[in-house]
Amino acid sequence: MSLTRRDFARTSAITGAGVALAGSVGALATAPNALASYDTDTDSAGDEAVDARHGVGYGPLVPDPKGILALPAGFTYRIITYSGRTKLESGEPTPSNHDGTATFDGPRGTTLLVNNHELKGPRANWKYPVPLTEGLVYDPAAAGGCTVVEVRPDGRVAEWVGIAGTSTNCAGGSTPWGTWLTCEENSDKAGVNGMTKDHGYVFEVDPCDRRANRSPKPLKFFGRYDHEAVVIDPKRGHAYLTEDASGPNGLFFRWTPPKGFEYGPGKFRALADDAGVLQAPKCFDSGGTFVDDLSRATKTGTVYGVDWVDVPDRDARTAPVRKQFADGEVTRARKLEGMWWGDGGAYIVSSYARAESPVQHDGQVWFYDPKRRTLTLKVLLGVNPDPSKDGAFDGPDNITVSPYGGIVLAEDGEGVSHLFGATESGRTYPIARNDLNVGTEEEPEYSEFAGVTFSPDGKTLYANIQDPGILLAITGPWKRQKRS
């Protein structure tokens, strides 16, 4: 049933939805009912220490003498895998360009992680591609894929290939039944860039059952485009997916399963390529006015109603999916990146917006409420005037909901790169800083963070430094973050 503009306007008048309160440049609000909040100034260690005394964050970051990861006092990190240095079970080197990651309970007290490797184009372009393990290869010309990492209670680590021969495995998402959906952020067709098969699909990887990953099958019903992330609504069965694209800006999607479909490990493989319905959003404000791009929301707490429009050709046989809609038919956004299911809905990241968007910003996080069919702006980062300066945050990408309250975001911006948190009332605080300079002393460069996710028991925060490809385990005195 369509949520009409009249219905939304009437609901807004009753509940206050659509009220937009102004926040500062880094305003954040992460609880589903929050409307606005205030930024935490992290320009100096003194301010961070004050925040920590008031129950927000963990204090100032301490530079790492090893030059890898700065953390608050009392926290430590451990390198789990390192591209080119650690080895797979087969003896081959760990692939490079770590990206999206999720954790799962493994057998005998182990923790399993599925780790994407964002490698685009032919294998010859990369020193450490994902090895072409027999039976696990989709396209032998492609360099990307996933590895499965097992962390044992005694600290030992094992790693093996989950899927190979895919392209630009960026984000993805875990499923309620304990598998990983890996997303290709590349839609090259067979014959382009040396590829032998079409790309731009989602694949399922089972970390607990290696046999289930044999003969990889693209889940074409999710569409063919530059995928970023995916989440599953465990109650209603919908899948939500993001697209990172411009010219025109990309979309986020909802997939509705066919009637009677029962989820479970491997069940997607039985579905036809055109199973279910793939749709794109059409948003409107409380006055019923169509919203063409999510960057137009300039205040946290802005709420939009959402209708869903069918995708004409989800496999993009003649035109990219986002180009199949005319102006006025769908709502777009730039750099639609990470997603995470929590609080009964989907958190959706728009990493930044520049000249290709109506309004510029350095990061948004939206919350989609499937029950109300609304999008609420929870995070808004203004354009960072000096990304090289430590303190301000910009370019959020991967996201996770923290077991200690609020959210944790991985930066993929310019200059300094952080993991940072935000409490449910909106106070921001740093968790880690990438101290590994992959540039030069004169022109330092710091790779993005990615794959931020907590262990199933909440004691360890895992995250990736994408370049050169390092999976890190962070532990310390985690605590419940106060709302203020």
Q: What is the pLDDT of residue 427?
A: 73
Nearest to 173 by CA among 242, 262, 94, 98: 242
- Residues 370 and 238: beta-carbon distance below 8 Å: yes
Strands 157-166 and 144-151: antiparallel
149 occurs within a structural domain: yes
Q: Residue 171 belongs to what domain range?
A: 88-208
198 occurs within a structural domain: yes
- pLDDT > 90 fraction of the chain, expressed in percent and rounded: 82
151 occurs within a structural domain: yes
pLDDT of residue 172 exceeding 80, the answer is: yes
| pLDDT tens digits, one per residue of 78-120 | 999 999 999 999 999 999 999 999 999 999 999 999 999 999 9
Tell me, what amino acid is at 412? D
Angle at 344 between CA 340 and CA 346, to 5 degrees: 30
pLDDT of residue 4 exceeding 80, the answer is: no
| pLDDT tens digits, one per residue of 183-205 | 999 999 999 999 999 999 999 99
Cα 111 to Cα 107: distance, rounded to the nearest angstrom: 8
* Helix or strand (DSSP H, E) at 50: helix 45-53
| pLDDT tens digits, one per residue of 260-305 | 999 999 999 999 999 999 999 999 999 999 999 999 999 999 999 9
421 occurs within a structural domain: no
19 pLDDT band, cuts 50/70/90, is very low
Total domains, the chain: 1
Nearest to 120 by CA among 143, 99, 141: 143
* Helix or strand (DSSP H, E) at 7: helix 5-15
Q: Kindly state the tokens that stand for 324.
A: 């199949």
5 occurs within a structural domain: no
| pLDDT tens digits, one per residue of 34-84 | 222 233 333 334 455 545 555 789 999 999 999 999 999 999 999 999 999
140 occurs within a structural domain: yes
If you count DSSP H runs as helices and E runs as strands, how many of each does the chain have, helices first?
2, 27
Q: What is the pLDDT of residue 111?
A: 98
* Helix or strand (DSSP H, E) at 315: none
Q: What is the pLDDT of residue 425?
A: 67
Cα 135 to Cα 471: distance, rounded to the nearest angstrom: 26
147 pLDDT band, cuts 50/70/90, is very high
- DSSP conformational letter for 17: T
CA atoms within 13 A on the CB side of 167: 29
- pLDDT > 70 fraction of the chain, expressed in percent and rounded: 88
129 occurs within a structural domain: yes
455 occurs within a structural domain: no
- The pTM of the full predicted model, rounded to 2 decimals, is 0.90
Q: What is the pLDDT of residue 388?
A: 85
| pLDDT tens digits, one per residue of 400-442 | 999 999 999 999 988 899 999 987 766 779 999 999 999 999 9
Higher pLDDT: 388 or 24? It is 388
For residues 234-256, give the mean pLDDT. 97
Q: Kindly state the tokens that stand for 327.
A: 């102006």
